[in-house]
Amino acid sequence: MALNRDEAGKVTGLKFDFTDLEPVKVKDVKCPLCGGEVIQTLFGYGCANYSKDNPESCKFAIGTIAGVKLKEAQVKELLLRGKTEVIKGFIAKTGMMFDAPLKLTPEGQVTFDFPEKPRPVDTTLKCPKCGHFMKKSQWYYECECGFKVAHTVAKVELEEAVMQELFETGKTKKK
């Protein structure tokens, strides 16, 4: 640390010099792109082989992701296993908070590891709007014409027979 002085010698502030500081290395992990050391940086973590003066240097870096600054243990898990456990507190562009695991792509990018949505399955239900057979998706019985209805109501799964009764008579029996 040094004092900044103006031309008259008056102190105008402090100057911090970090050039002599050794970067903090993350132990037991290597850069997934070049095999170099991974270090803590001002913004997060990155490859020790990065140089702002060399455009050909390694560019691997992990900064704040959707409002979450990863902990060293999470970075190690990501680099050693290729994925993390669920991390809490991400903030979507809409402002909604969500939790998700992260994964490392072969290109060294960090992405969310959302589970794949189950594919819709065929049913024997006929659409009350157009008569085509409907499919059962994660949340709905749906038809290609755009008609859809939730298959779970008040945490009760509505089976095809109940839905068929509803479509044919406009109501279901009490249970």
What pLDDT, in 10s, does the model give residues 101-118?
Answer: 999 999 999 999 988 878
Are 126 and 156 in the same domain? yes
Angstrom distance (rounded) from CA 175 to CA 173: 6
Q: What are the tens digits of pLDDT across the range 63-114?
A: 999 999 999 999 999 999 999 999 999 999 999 999 999 999 999 999 999 8
Closest Cα partner for 88 from 105, 71, 104, 76?
71
User: What pTM does this model have?
Assistant: 0.59
- At residue 15 the predicted structure's pLDDT band, cuts being 50, 70 and 90, is low
Are 99 and 147 in the same domain? no
Let me know if residue 8 belongs to a domain.
no
Let me know if residue 74 belongs to a domain.
yes
Within 10 A of 86 (CB to CB), how many other CB atoms are there? 10
Residue 124 has pLDDT above 70, yes or no: yes
**What does each C-alpha distance from 74 to 31, 49, 78, 85 come to in angstroms?**
15, 21, 6, 8
Q: How would you class 141 by CB atoms within 10 Å of its CB: exposed for 0-12, middle for 13-18, buried for 19 or more?
A: buried
Let me know if residue 104 belongs to a domain.
yes
Let me know if residue 81 belongs to a domain.
yes
Are 47 and 98 in the same domain? yes
Let me know if residue 14 belongs to a domain.
no
What is the span of the domain harbouring residue 108? 20-112
The residue out of 95, 112, 129 marking a domain boundary is 112
Let me know if residue 6 belongs to a domain.
no
Are 43 and 64 in the same domain? yes
Share of the chain above pLDDT 70, in %: 93
Residue 20 has pLDDT above 70, yes or no: no
Structural domain count of the chain: 2
Let me know if residue 4 belongs to a domain.
no
pLDDT, position 6: 80
The larger pLDDT score, comparing residue 57 to residue 18, is at: 57
Are 32 and 77 in the same domain? yes
Let me know if residue 3 belongs to a domain.
no
